[in-house]
Structure 1
Amino acid sequence: MKQLLKNTLFYGIGSAGLFPVFRRIFAGRAAIVMFHEIQRDCRSELMTGTSAELFDYSLSWLQREGWAIVSLEECLAQLAKNDRSRRYAVLTFDDGYRDNVSVALPILERHNAPFMVYVPTAALTRTLQSWWLGLRELIRSRDDVTIDAMGLRFRCPDFRSKQFALRKVDQWVHHDFKRVAALATTFNKAGISTSALNDRYFLDARALQGLSRHPLASIGGHTTSHAALATLDAASARDELADNRNYLENLLQLSVRHLAYPYGAYGLREEHLANEVGYVSAVTTRHSQLSDHQPNQFALPRIGVCSSFDSETSFAARMSGVQSAMLKLGACLGRE
């Protein structure tokens, strides 16, 4: 309901032709846009990624509205110069999905758009505990789903009920990432192999080597196991960062300088660790644009795009600063 109200507001503001007004007042100097999967058939994947159509629209809209799509390094350099001649957009992809190449890359090439892919080691080695893929496979393939660790049974014979079940379990995991291990029993009973899903959905080492040589592509780190770093002790968190960076640099024979925190789970400790192991920037899942010419480069916000809650109108609204305006208004009302 909350998302429906937001989308209705976005549509009303867009219909009134007010996006340019909001953009002048509330939009930042730059925005880092976050994608995961770019899906040809988004509905069959329960709307967990971004449709190819919305992805293509997003790039077209950015360029039509005067945003320069640039690499992360160029964006940070232009911000440091306090360049206010135009706005900059950076495209990022988390996890290293196969469809980033098979579906997204032709669209990126058509728009001549640079991009960054953040890759965890375990996705390439097929050892990733990709619980979100296992959960999606479980729910979309069954009309009745029991999550043993939750003590809940979901009756989900249609698309909407499957989306509801997926969202509820996803929220349960995100409240405590240690719950990931508890899903293994459910997956095993259902005959679902996360290793097989990793092979189906993620790039392999050879494909990533090829992608890294593409003139538009940059590769960043995403930890070894896609762990929520804030839940680990300092030594383990440091190893997750350092080992992943070393693995990628040895594989690609390139410098890996940029990081994405898995799940956006970070704090001051993680910022210091990222700097310590040799990264020069780290992106989060915190929703915001970049306005300061000297942002904290180890806590960079992003604008996430997913077809489960985004449309062409809502993308344009959020990039135009409408959501930022709503958050600022809410904060002001909360202080009264």
Structure 2
Amino acid sequence: MKQLLKRSLFEAASWSGLTPALRRMFAGRAAILMFHEIQRDHRSELMTGTSVELFEYLLKWLRQEGWEIVDLETCLERLATDPRPRRYAVLTFDDGYRDNVSTAVPILERNNAPFMVYVPTGAPTRTLQPWWLGLRELFRSRDTVTIDAMGIRFSCPDFEKKASALRKVGEWVHEDYHRAAMLVPTFSKAGLSLSALNDAYFLDEDELQSLAQHPLASIGGHTDSHPALACLDVLSARSEMIANRNYLEKLLQRPVQHLAYPYGTAGACGPREEHLAKEAGFSTAVTTRHGHVSDCKPNHFGLPRIGVGGQSDTRAAFEARMNGVQSAVQMLLGRT
């Protein structure tokens, strides 16, 4: 219901002519965009990533609307030193999916667009436990799915029911990240291998090394095992950051200065994690909290991002986020 209300408000802002005013009030000088998968067959993946069509559209839209696509370091430097009212967009990709290279890179090359890929150690080493991929595979491949930890049996014979069920279970995990481990018996019972999903979806070490050589690419850290850092004790959270950075620097033979917190919500990372990231030697750290970068001296260890993709994303919704309409809607709905 809330999603429907949001979409209605986005469309109302567009046809009412309020967008320029909202842009002046709520949009910042910079936006860090967050992607995961860039999917050629968006529907077969239950529309969990960003479609190629939307990805190509938004790059064209950014250019047309006067956003300059730059790397993260350039963005922050220009915000601090350039008084002109120019707008900057930074493109970031989380987790190190193989389609970031096979699908996104050719499009990025055509647009001469620099980009950052944040990689957890467990993805190229094949030790990651990507519960979100396991859930997607369950619902893609079955018309009936029982999630034992929830005590719920989903009947999902068509696309809409599969997508809805996947969304509900994902929301259940995001309410308490300890629940991710509770899905393991369900995956085992279904004969589903998370290791095989690592192989199918994530870059391996050779591919990551090759990507790091690309002139448009930067590689950032994303912790060792992709945990919600706030759920860990201090020593474990610090180790997750440092071990990941050390692994990537040894593999790639170059400094790794930037970090993305896994999950990145207020409940998954906060002031403690910001302090740890700085202490670990990173220069910046990005969250998944929605927002533009408007201050010339933003908090480099709690940078907001604008997410792109998912089942309900559209061109209009993307434009609304970039123009500050979503921030206005969130204020209207009483959300922080």
Q: Which residue of 1 aligns with 2:15?
A: 15
Shift of 1:61: 0.6
Question: Structure 2 residue aligned with 1:324, among 310, 316, 327?
Answer: 327
Q: Which residue of 2 aligns with 1:199?
A: 199
Question: Structure 1 residue aligned with 2:284, among 281, 304, 319?
Answer: 281
Q: Which residue of 1 aligns with 2:235?
A: 235
Task: Please tell me the residue identity of whatever aligns with 1:146.
Answer: T
How many aligned residue pairs are there?
Answer: 333
Distance 2:256 2:178 in 1: 29
Distance 1:223 1:109 in 2: 28
- Assess if the C-alpha contact under 8 Å between 2:9 and 2:329 holds in 1: no
Distance 1:317 1:161 in 2: 28
Shift of 1:88: 0.4
Task: Give the secondary-structure state (helix, strand or coil) at the position aligned to 1:263.
Answer: coil
Shift of 1:204: 0.5
Task: Give the secondary-structure state (helix, strand or coil) at the position aligned to 1:182.
Answer: helix
Q: Aligned ranges for residues 8-47 of structure 1 at < 5 Å? A: 8-47=8-47
Shift of 1:14: 2.0
Question: Structure 2 residue aligned with 1:298, among 301, 315, 328?
Answer: 301
Cα-to-partner distance string for 1:73-93 (whole Å, 9 max, x where unaligned) = 000101111533310000000
Cα-to-partner distance string for 1:198-248 (whole Å, 9 max, x where unaligned) = 000000011011111111100000000001110001001010000000000
Q: Which stretches in structure 2 are left out of the alignment for 5+ residues? A: none
Q: Aligned ranges for residues 163-178 of structure 1 at < 5 Å? A: 163-178=163-178
Task: Please tell me the residue identity of whatever aligns with 2:295.
Answer: D
Cα-to-partner distance string for 1:107-142 (whole Å, 9 max, x where unaligned) = 111111010000000001111000000000001100
- Assess if the C-alpha contact under 8 Å between 2:35 and 2:50 holds in 1: yes
Task: Please tell me the residue identity of whatever aligns with 2:169.
Answer: V
Task: Give the secondary-structure state (helix, strand or coil) at the position aligned to 2:207.
Answer: helix
Q: TM-score normalized by structure 2?
A: 0.96
Distance 1:63 1:307 in 2: 23
Distance 2:95 2:207 in 1: 14
Q: Which residue of 1 aligns with 2:217?
A: 217
Shift of 1:5: 1.9
Q: Which stretches in structure 1 are left out of the alignment for 5+ residues? A: none
Q: Which residue of 2 aligns with 1:2?
A: 2
Q: Does 1:114 align with 2:117?
A: no
- Assess if the C-alpha contact under 8 Å between 2:212 and 2:218 holds in 1: yes
Distance 2:239 2:2 in 1: 40
Distance 2:65 2:205 in 1: 37
- Assess if the C-alpha contact under 8 Å between 2:29 and 2:85 holds in 1: no
Distance 1:158 1:207 in 2: 35
Shift of 1:298: 0.3
Q: Which residue of 2 aligns with 1:90?
A: 90
Q: CA RMSD in A?
A: 1.4
Distance 1:302 1:112 in 2: 21
Cα-to-partner distance string for 1:262-319 (whole Å, 9 max, x where unaligned) = 0012111111110111101000010000111101000000000114121111111110
Shift of 1:171: 1.1
Shift of 1:331: 4.4
- Assess if the C-alpha contact under 8 Å between 1:29 and 1:84 holds in 2: no
Q: TM-score normalized by structure 1?
A: 0.96
Shift of 1:18: 3.7
| Pair 1:218–1:328, CA change in 2 (3 A) | same
Distance 2:299 2:146 in 1: 43
Q: Which residue of 1 aligns with 2:156?
A: 156
Question: Structure 1 residue aligned with 2:316, among 304, 313, 320?
Answer: 313
Runs of 4+ in 1 over 4 A off after TM superposition: none
The share of aligned pairs that are identical, in percent, is 68
Task: Please tell me the residue identity of whatever aligns with 2:213.
Answer: R
Task: Please tell me the residue identity of whatever aligns with 1:325.
Answer: A
Distance 2:89 2:83 in 1: 14
Shift of 1:181: 1.3
